[in-house]
Amino acid sequence: MCGIAGIWRPGGGDHAETAVAMAQAIQHRGPDDSSVWSDPAAGIALSHRRLSIIDLSAAGRQPMTSASGRYVICYNGEVYNFRELRKDLEAGGVQFRGDSDTEVVLALIDRWDVDAAIERLIGMFALALWDRHERSLVLLRDRLGIKPLYWGYIGNAIIFASEPRAFAAVPGFGNEIDQGALADYLRLNYVPAPNCIYKGLNKLEPGTKVRLDGTNKPEISQYWSLRDVAVRGGREPLSLRDDDAIDQLDDLLKDAVGRRMLADVPLGAFLSGGIDSSLVVALMQAQSERPVKTFTIGFEEKAFNEAKFAKTIARHLGTEHHELYVSPQDAMDIIPHLPEMFDEPFADSSQIPTYLVSRMTRQHVTVALSGDGGDELMAGYTRYRWADMTSRRFGSWPLSLRRMAANAVSALPNDVWNATGAVLPAGLSKGRLGDRVGRFCSFLEQPSADAIYHRQHTNWPRPDEIIAVDEGAGRAVGIPGLEADFPRFISRMQYMDAIGYLPDDVLTKVDRASMAVSLEVRVPLLDHRVMDFAWRLPFEQKYRDGEGKWLLRQVLNRYVPTEMFERPKAGFSIPVAEWLRGPMREWAEALLAPGLLTDSGLTGVGAIHSVWQQLLAGHDRFQEPIWGILMFQAWRLQQTKPNRPKIAIRGQQSQ
C-alpha cells in the first residue's frame, strides 16, 4: 500500500522536485521508502511513497519501469492473484527481477495492454502508467473504488495524487472551493465522485480510467461497470438450493479472505462483533495455523458499546484478541485532527472510532482485514427495510394526503412522542421516539420511492439556503433507466449505495483513517467475484423475512452460533449529539459564530443556528447536518489559516 503523485507538463521541463514535494505531503501513506522517476524531455515526473507489504526489498521499489522499457508505473494497491499470474507469465518466458505484484502488473501490460491486464487482476489499486513510446498517461482506479485517486489541471500541468493535499506543492495551485461540490457535501456529508472540493480537480470514479495525451481532451472510459454486473445477474440468475448457495458463498469468501492474508508483514483483523467482521475473522481463523490477531474498541456508554459481543466471538473462534475502551475525552481529542486527516470536508462521525481502532491495530500489525461492504452486498442496512415499508404501505396514497398525515403527526410535540416511547417495549422505543417519528414524516412527504432513499441521505435538502449556489445545486439527481434495470426498490437502494455511499463515504473513511497511521486495510467482501455472485443470487437468498444478509448469516452460522451474532444492528457509532450538547458545546459554538460562518461562505447563518437550537433542545436527528457544518468549518479554518491554533475542546489544551 502506498501513496502516489505526479505532474506532467507536456511542454517539457524537470519537475522531479515538485513530484517529490507532492509525495512528501502524503508520507503517512508510505513511510518506509520513497522514490521519483522523471523524464525532463517529456516534462513528466512520477513520485511514490511506499508502505512495504510484499517483497520488502529494493526490487519492489517504485516508480518501476517495465522489462521492455516502454512503461513506467506508479501504483498504490495490492493484487491478490499475482502469484498465479506470475506463473502464467513465467511459463511464457517472462523473467522477473523481484517478487512484487507491481512487477507482475507491468509484465501483464507489457504482454497485452492495460485493459486486458486489468481484467485479470483481483485486488484494490489506483495507478498511473506512463507510456514512453506514445507519451501518454493512463490513470486508473479499482472496480469498487477501494483506493482513491485525484487528478486535474493546474494551468497546463496535468497532476494526480492519492490525496488532494499533495496539490498544494504544485506552483499555481489555488485552494478555491467548488461551490457545486460544497452543495453536494452539505447534502451528503461527503463530496461524491467525480467532484472534488477544489475547483478544477476531480476524483476518478470506481472502475474508471482516464487517458491523457497532452491535449485538453482527456479520454475517460469505464472498464468495469457494477450496473452491467447487476443487470446481467438479474437476467441470468443462479438457480441454487439454499444449501448449495451457502456452500458456494462459503468457498468463494474463503478464497477471497485467504488471498488477502498474503503479506510479508504482521496481519490481523477488525472485529466489531457484527455479522460481516465476524465472518471475515472466522474465515481467517479457519485458514490460519496460529490465532488471528483481532482488534476492537469499546465505549463507556452502554448504548454504543459492542466490544463485549466481539470478545465473545473472539473467545469462541480462539483469536488473539485486543480491545481498548475509549472514554469520551479520548474520542473528542481526535476531533481537531480530523480535517487534516481527511483532507476534504468529510462528516461521517464513525470516522472517529474507525481512526481509534486503526491506531490501536497499527501498534501490533501492518495489515488488517475488515468486513466493510456486506450491507451493500446483501441488502443489510436497516434503512432499506424502513424505506421499503414506507413506500409499499403509503406509496399508493395521494401525495397531498401523505403530506397532510405527516403534518398532523408532526404537530404533536417531540416530548409527547418521547414520553410515549418510554412506555413502549424496548424493541420499539430504541432511541428517541420523537426523532424517529420526525424522520418517518420526512419520508412520508416524498413523491416517490427513490425520493425516500435520497431523503435518507440528505442533511440539508436546500443547500442554496445556506450557500450561494443555484437553487438545484446539491440535490439528488435520478439515474436514467434505473427503475427498469432494478424494478425492486431494495435492489435499487443497494445499487445506489454501492456506486455512491460505499466508495465516497465508507471506503473513504476507512482509507483515510487507516492510512493516517500507515495501516493497510483489505476488504474481502468487496472482491469483485463476490459482488458478481451476490448480484446473480435470487433476492430471497439475500433478503428474507424482513432481514438482509440472509445468506451471509447462514455461512457465519457454520463457524459461530446464531445467538452470538443475532441482535439488532447498532452500527459503528458514537454519541455525538450528547457530546455536542455537553463537553463539545463550546467548541461547536465557536465554529458556528456568525462571522466565522460567513467568512467560510455559509451565508444562511439563521438557518444553521435554527438547526443548532433544535439539536440543543434534544432532537438528535439534527446531529448529521450540524456535524457536517462543524467538519466543514474546521476544515476550512485549517485551509485558510493553517498556522492558527486549533480551537480547544473543553478539557483539552490548544495545540
CB 74 within 8 A of CB 127: yes
CB 307 within 8 A of CB 332: no
Counting Cα atoms < 13 Å in the Cβ hemisphere of 385 gives 14
Label the pairing between strands 293-299 and 320-326.
parallel
Identify the DSSP state of 46: E
Torsion, CA 209, CA 214, CA 217, CA 218, rounded to 10: 10
Backbone dihedral region of 272: left (phi > 0), alpha (psi from -120 to 50 degrees) or beta? alpha
Rounded CA gap, 244 and 521, in Å? 31
Question: End-to-end CA distance of the chain, in Å?
Answer: 30
Q: Kindly state the helix (H) or strand (E) to which residue 221 belongs, with its residue range.
A: strand 219-222
Neighbours of 221 (CB within 10 A): 10
Residue 520 pairs in a beta bridge with 367
Label the pairing between strands 367-369 and 219-222.
unpaired
**Catalytic residue (one of 2, 74, 196, 441):** 2
Is 196 noted as a catalytic residue in this protein?
A: no
Quote the cell numbers at residue 145: 473504488
Between CA 268 and CA 276, with CA 271 as vertex, the angle to 5 degrees is 110
**Three-state SS at 218:** coil
User: Of 592, 129, 278, which Cα lies nearest the Cα of 269?
Assistant: 278
Counting Cα atoms < 13 Å in the Cβ hemisphere of 449 gives 22
CB 42 within 8 A of CB 80: no
Alpha carbon 636 to its chain's center = 21
3-class SS shares of the chain: helix, strand, coil, % to 5: 45, 15, 40
CB 163 within 8 A of CB 148: yes
Rounded CA gap, 299 and 307, in Å? 8
CA distances from 586 to 244, 647, 652 (A): 57, 9, 12
Instruction: Give the active site residues.
Output: 2
